[in-house]
Chain A
Amino acid sequence: MDAALLVELYRQMALCRRFEEAAARAYSQGKISGFLHLSVGQEAVSVGAISGAAPTDYIVATYREHAHYLARTGDVRGAMAELYGRSGGCVGGRGGSMHLFDAGHRFLGGWAIVGGHVPIAAGVAFASKYRAEKDVTLCFFGDGTANMGAFHEGLALASQWKLPIVFICENNQYAMGTPLYRTLAVEDVAVRARGYPIEEEIVNGDDVLEMREATRQAVERARSKSLPFFLEAKTYRFRGHSMADPAKYRSKEEVQKWMERDPINILGQRMQTLGIATQERLKQIDDEAKATVQDAVAFAEASPPPAPESVHEHVYV
């Protein structure tokens, strides 16, 4: 087992967790506006998957994308300042929490209409294939996407044209406040991929190593054979759909049961069992994550808001 890799994955997940906790605090204090969708409890999906791809592979994600953005770019300051709506944000305060972009790191959003980005991700993969480049596209979405027409059209075209794309469904079991069993006629979202047909696999989304390995294989297959693949990661979001959602539709017992599968603890315990890190070392990593986030908060609060006269910039080239 690669000790340095495990430390890095732990560091990234801790960073995502501390980032979103700080964002939630700032939101409660009225420093962050709009919608704020947290993926606390789901960090293994984004961190594991993105670590399983090459840094040059494209990422297309949803409005619940802080962790994906951080895992790919490491740009903690730019992300936090964006949530604050400041000029130092990764998109200068024009996007907000739901629209993070970093073209240089091939992080292509940040899309907030459920399902709409699935065909776009297929288009990115289409362009790679068109230019005979070997890059693969990772497309993240939630379980609530599985009934959207755009999702199905995206999958249909990816299969028809054999596009190098890995669809990653983060099944956190709730589409906003509605449990999946009330809106999806099949137990597993992955089943939906079969008709196209796209090969699929169901993964424990709370195990960062399993997530990483499954994605690594899917990406390599997509790259070498130019074929789409579908991963369904079973996971759980510890908090509501957004900060506006107290998540009263779930029992305390249910939430408690899932919090016992906290992906960060799962990896931490494994690292201790393997003798890779002590409790103290893990705490040290976590403290460093907190300090990094604290620095980003300070950066965001010091960053000036965008100049009002810039409002017309970037509507057109």
Chain B
Amino acid sequence: MSEPRVITLREALREAMVEEMERDDAIFLMGEEVGHYNGAYKVSEGMLERFGERRVIDTPIAETGFAGVGIGAAMIGLRPIIEFMTWNFSLTAYDQIVNNAAKLRYMANGQFTLPIVFRGPGGAAHALGAQHSQALESLYAHVPGLKVVVPSTPADGKGLLKASIRDDNPVCFFESETMYALKGQVPEGEHLIPLGVADVKRQGRDVTLVTWGKMVHSSLKAADTLAEEGVEVEVLDLRTIRPLDVEALLESVRRTKRCLVVQEGWPFAGVAAEIITLVTQEAFDWLDAPPERVTNLDVPMPYARTLEDEVLPSAERIAAAVRRMLGREAEPVRPAAAVAR
């Protein structure tokens, strides 16, 4: 039986990679600064020393190149972990991930499997400006053939990363700079969380907050505030966006009769819109209020703190949306997307 102990998300992710690499020689880690520098965010600290240059591979700044190398290596049986220093840089490899990784198996009629994990931090991390603050999971979740995973706790980080590494499909795994130091209980040794299983992070009866990643914590904070007002919020952490745990989502929403999706990232054509479509179609008769979303404002990320705070979903904005859905807000606050137009 594994003993829980408290470690950071950074350590939990490292532990997942180390344990899997100890188990299977076909797994290697490749990316910028992952080896001798010990990782731009120290996730891979010590791994070069442990596994050597054959399996912990520093790359030049060439995302298209090393993402493609990972895909080619996976085609003939290796299981690469490709680290993007941040997901913002993955956009220079978008062609590799979308045109090649996502489509190979389908185009080749199932002749190939592509067990590859693309991972790194995404989302805003305080005053990094427009090109370094993007939450891009909606962009990747759009593409059939990719799995999209976004952990919110150290334990989930370990369990989901191990499952992603063992998955035979390409997986986009989104971490967060601001969460790497987050501490939590994490089981030692074998700890797997299957992809496609959501997790109720807080139980409640009045409204379901559907969320993932960093926004789980903003949602929990909003739930604390609302509890003082007598509102019991359920926080459903999707954990994986593809595959989506439709069953858990609908079960919760049908029970609470209200659905608010909290998503970091732009509203237009985002994951929140997809979830609201699903809820509207499949749980319409149960709903007591129109499903809503709280997202980034529909603008590139500004640098100044006052502006950045305005853009990102906050616990206050989430709580306000819940109050509005429950008819407790006198002054209706327009959703972000409507304001942007």
Contacts and interface: CB of A to CB of B under 8 A. Distances in A.
A99 B108 CA distance: 7
Given A109-B107, A316-B105, 4 more contacts: A111-B100, A123-B75, A124-B75, A314-B110
A125 B66 CA distance: 13
A92 B100 CA distance: 19
12 contacts: A103-B111, A113-B99, A123-B68, A127-B73, A127-B78, A131-B78, A150-B64, A153-B66, A156-B62, A157-B60, A316-B105, A317-B168
Contact of B66 (A60, A90, A92, A119): A119
Contacts of B64: 119, 149-150, 153
Nearest to B104: A109
A146 interface: no
Residue of B54, B78, B145 ringed by the most chain A CB atoms within 10 A: B78
A58 interface: yes
Nearest to B101: A120
Contacts of B113: 317
Contact of A95 (B28, B96, B109): B109
Given A91-B108, A130-B28, A315-B106, A122 B69 contact: yes
A7 to B, nearest CB: 32
A119 B68 contact: yes
A118 B72 CA distance: 9
A164 interface: no
Residue of B70, B77, B107 ringed by the most chain A CB atoms within 10 A: B107
Given A122-B68, A122-B69, A153 B62 contact: yes
Contacts of A92: 109
A116 interface: yes
State the 9 A-B residue pairs at the shortest beta-carbon distance, nearest first: A123-B72, A119-B68, A153-B65, A123-B69, A120-B72, A91-B109, A101-B108, A314-B110, A127-B73
A294 B36 CA distance: 59
B60 A316 contact: no
Interface of A: 58, 60, 90-92, 94-95, 99, 101-103, 108-111, 113, 116-128, 130-131, 149-150, 153-154, 156-157, 160, 313-317
A289 B145 CA distance: 39
B71 A94 contact: no
Nearest to A124: B72
A157 B108 contact: no
Interface of B: 28, 54, 59-60, 62, 64-78, 95-96, 99-100, 104-113, 144-145, 147, 167-169
A110 B99 contact: no
A317 B169 contact: yes
Contacts of A123: 68-75
Contacts of B95: 113, 116, 150
Given A94-B107, A103-B111, A120 B66 contact: no
A269 to B, nearest CB: 39
B69 A126 contact: yes
B262 to A, nearest CB: 27
A108 B65 contact: no
B107 A99 contact: yes
B132 to A, nearest CB: 21
Nearest to B167: A317
A135 B233 CA distance: 58
Given A113-B95, A150-B65, A91 B107 contact: yes
A116 B99 contact: yes
B99 A124 contact: no
Contacts of B76: 58, 108, 124, 127-128
A315 B95 CA distance: 18
A111 B104 CA distance: 9
A101 B72 CA distance: 14
A129 B327 CA distance: 64
B270 to A, nearest CB: 21
A110 B145 CA distance: 18
A124 B69 CA distance: 7
B100 A124 contact: no
Contacts of A153: 62, 64-66, 68
B312 to A, nearest CB: 33
A122 B54 CA distance: 16
Contacts of A157: 59-60, 62, 65-66, 69
Nearest to B63: A153
Contacts of B72: 60, 108, 119-127
A128 B104 CA distance: 20
A94 B99 contact: no
Nearest to A82: B109
Contacts of A156: 60, 62, 65
A101 B109 CA distance: 9
Contacts of B107: 91, 94-95, 99, 101, 109-110
A103 B71 CA distance: 15
A308 B291 CA distance: 35
Contacts of B28: 130
Nearest to B61: A153
Nearest to A90: B109
Contact of B54 (A110, A113, A130): A130
Contacts of A150: 64-65, 68, 95-96
